[in-house]
Amino acid sequence: MKKVERINLIMRYINNRAHFTISEIMQEFTISRSTAIRDIREIEAMGMPLVSEVGRDGGYFVMHNLVLPEVRFSDDEVKALFIAFMATRNQQLPYLKSRQSIAEKLLGLISESQQDDLIFLNQILLFEGTNPHNPDLLDLSDLPHPIVETLFQTLLLDRYIFLIFQEDNVTKYSPVYLLHLYHEKSQWLIEGYDLKEGAKRIFHVDHIIDIQPCPIESRTSKQKIAEKLREQTEAINLVLELGPKAIAQFKKYHPLHVSLSYTDPYQTTAVLKTFIAVEKPEEVAELTNWLLFLGEDFIVREMPGEMLESLQERLRLYCP
């Protein structure tokens, strides 16, 4: 048995006993006295609160039968937790009902001076989406769509799901294999492989009426899904290099299917690669408007001719 594994087993053994001796450790783990003493010392150094007793019947016992001493937060750790709570306020995240109990437990662990610091931070810090007239940390007025938590619980069990949703005022259904769940532009979105249509789709969680387990007969193996997705991958036909100003604009707004790859550690330069369906004039027009929104801080490396013409036409209107 390896030393690390043995020490972990010894920790479990002694933590479940009010009292133990070196002889018991030697017999239980078939080790020498010197090895047992050395292991006990290492366990003490790791934080297990052991107390030794001298005498003929002496040995060790664990204080309060705990593996580690009481958890203490530093000032910086407390502020980091508190500010993280504030930053997620009004973000429509799941499990927000638990935020109040977590905050109360956190406040109960810290000193009065730390509590005063948090009250001050709560008074001066406002994040995007915060109501300045009611910036209370424990305000649960902006809960997510009720289906979000159901979705999380379902996905923890199975990525094959059966969605019932509303589209164009019509109730529809789809068996779906979930690829990603993400939160963007204040919306929860499912990127999934539609098992009925055999293609990748985006579903808005706000439009979902119900989520059920996916029937076995509707499922496709993960291997076949991966093969289909590889076959359907569209060739990239738009490549841009973005500078810091364009990146700042990108963060303010960008189409749902577009993402960045940063090219330096400080995220001041990036490459954007995507596919534009030039046969769809509405998509070309939308992306042309968005490129104008980015400003001048980008370089075109590749662009479909149809979009280039659209962009040049728009520029002539603005700069005759």
pTM metric for this prediction: 0.55
Predicted confidence (pLDDT) per residue in 164-217, tens digit: 999 888 999 999 999 988 877 677 889 899 999 888 888 989 899 999 999 999
d(CA 238, CA 286): 14
Provide the domain limits for residue 55: 3-65
Percent of the chain scoring above 70 in pLDDT: 85
Q: What integer is the mean pLDDT of 47-73?
A: 63
Predicted confidence (pLDDT) per residue in 156-177, tens digit: 889 999 999 998 889 999 999 9
Q: Evaluate if residue 102 carries a pLDDT over 60.
A: yes
Q: Domain ends where: 143, 168, 203? A: 143
Six-digit token string for 227: 């093969």
Q: Please give the pLDDT value at position 143.
A: 66
Q: Give the other-Cβ count within 10 Å of 317's Cβ.
A: 7
Q: Evaluate if residue 285 carries a pLDDT over 60.
A: yes
**Could you tell me where the DSSP H helices lie in the chain?**
3-15, 22-29, 33-45, 75-87, 99-109, 112-124, 147-155, 222-232, 244-252, 281-294, 305-318
Query: Among 248, 253, 252, 270, which residue's Cα sits nearest to residue 261?
Result: 270
104/129 same-domain check: yes
118/159 same-domain check: no
179/253 same-domain check: no
Q: Domain ends where: 213, 232, 251? A: 232
Q: Domain ends where: 232, 250, 274? A: 232
Query: Among 122, 85, 90, 121, which residue's Cα sits nearest to residue 105?
Result: 85
Q: Please give the pLDDT value at position 138.
A: 47
90/54 same-domain check: no
Query: Among 52, 149, 71, 144, which residue's Cα sits nearest to residue 110?
Result: 71
Overall domain count for the chain: 4
Q: What is the CATH classification number for the domain harbouring 206? A: 2.30.30
